[in-house]
């Protein structure tokens, strides 16, 4: 597989905490949302693809079933939102709220 995040795929991703991983995924989702708002479909698609790639890396390293279950559902919902027909009825606000909690959790420790 060809990764866009080559350094992270090479093992650095696994050294991050789950909250750090989710906050980074959230950054890519935020980029995708911003590009969508600017009507730049190509950049939106690329950012969404990077987010899914990071989710896949997180899934590979998931050690407990509950976390794995959440990650696979998030992956499915993000793919549906950016590439599908939005059957889960997601919104920009929903994704921002979901990932903001992880970003907050990471920042509060620094």
Q: What is the pLDDT of residues 51-93, one digit of tens each?
A: 999 999 999 988 888 889 999 999 999 999 999 999 999 999 9
Q: In this structure, is residue 21 part of a structural domain?
A: yes
Structure confidence at residue 107 (pLDDT) = 86
Q: Domain holding 85: CATH number?
A: 1.20.58
- Does 97 fall in a domain? yes
| Residue entry with tokens 């009825």 | 89
Chain Cα centroid distance, residue 46:
12
Containing structural domain, residue 22: 17-108
pLDDT of residue 62: 84
pTM: 0.88
Percent of the chain with pLDDT over 70: 89
Number of domains in the chain: 1
- The residue with greater pLDDT, 11 or 98, is 98
Q: Is residue 1 part of a domain?
A: no
User: Residue 44, SS3?
Assistant: helix
Provide the pLDDT for residue 110: 60
* Residue 3 counted as domain residue: no
Assess if residue 2 is contained within a domain: no
């Amino acid at each position: 597989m060809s990764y866009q995040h080559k350094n992270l795929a090479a093992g650095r991703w696994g050294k991050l905490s789950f909250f750090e991983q989710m906050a980074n995924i959230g950054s890519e989702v935020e980029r995708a949302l911003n590009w969508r708002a600017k009507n730049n479909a190509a950049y939106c698609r690329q950012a969404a693809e990077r987010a899914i790639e990071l989710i896949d890396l997180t899934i590979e390293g998931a050690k407990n079933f509950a976390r794995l279950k959440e990650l696979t559902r998030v992956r499915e919902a993000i793919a549906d939102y950016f590439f599908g027909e939005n059957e889960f009825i997601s919104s920009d606000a929903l994704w921002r709220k979901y990932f903001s909690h992880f970003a907050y959790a990471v920042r509060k420790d620094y």
